[in-house]
Amino acid sequence: MTDNEKAETGQTDIERDEEVARELEGVPEEFLADGDDEEDGGSVDDALASLRADLEAAKQETLYAKAEAQNQRRRMEREVQDARTYAATGFARDVLSVADNLSRAIDAVPAELREDDKFRGLVAGIEATQRELEKVFAQHGISRIAAMGLPLDPNQHQAMLEIPSNDAEPGTVVQEMQAGYMIRDRLLRPSMVGVAKKPD
């Protein structure tokens, strides 16, 4: 700065240096270093390359965080859907014993009592209750597992005993001790069955 310029601005060299120092406060040192001065912290190009690498790493971390958040959201949506779909599972398991007792009650009624006018209404009432229970089960996606005459399926049947038989293939279900049920595509309770085996 010439003497005339100094006179115009009214600044001394010290005042100007202090102003420049204030303007440069907070600027990282690597940006203040001379571009050709390798000894004082490297060039601006090196600093720029380092910043670019940091930016790329930050972008990758952001992408991973977004992917993880999306996966977490999908997991939560799936869990909520499962909770809605299978909400009746615990209650249904408890009610299965009621269905079992109704079936036993109907099976226990002798044929002659079914024709008796005194018992006909009672049997009809039990049968109507059983039908209503089956209708409610169907509304909630609960269905009885088919067992009799089918090959043993360990995913749905629980073999309780083997029964010698000449009429059925070994491994075929020939007796059902307790009905099994599914709730939609999940096992609610396996069927307890007896399977055929070759006679000794």
Q: What is the pLDDT of residues 74-132, one digit of tens each?
A: 999 988 888 887 888 888 888 999 999 998 888 888 888 778 888 888 888 889 999 99
Last residue of a domain, one of 121, 140, 159: 140
Kindly report the average pLDDT of the chain as a whole number.
82
Is residue 183, in this structure, part of any structural domain at all? yes
pTM above 0.75, yes or no: no
Angle, vertex CA 163, rays to CA 183 and CA 144, nearest 5: 15
Q: Which residues are within 8 A (CB) of 171 and not within 5 positions of it... i.e. 6 or more apart?
A: 151, 152, 195, 196, 197
Q: Write out the H or E segment, with its range, that includes residue 148.
A: none
Residue 96, Cβ neighbours under 10 Å: how many? 19
Q: What is the pLDDT of residues 41-82, one digit of tens each?
A: 568 888 888 888 999 999 999 999 999 999 999 999 988 888
Same-domain status, 147 and 110: no
Strands 186-189 vs 181-183: parallel, antiparallel or unpaired: antiparallel
Identify the domain containing residue 192 by its residue range.
143-200
**25, 28, 31, 34: CA torsion to nearest 10:** 80
pLDDT computed for residue 81 by the predictor: 84
Q: How confident is the model at residue 40 (pLDDT cuts 50, 70, 90)?
A: very low
- Per the structure, how many domains does the chain have? 2
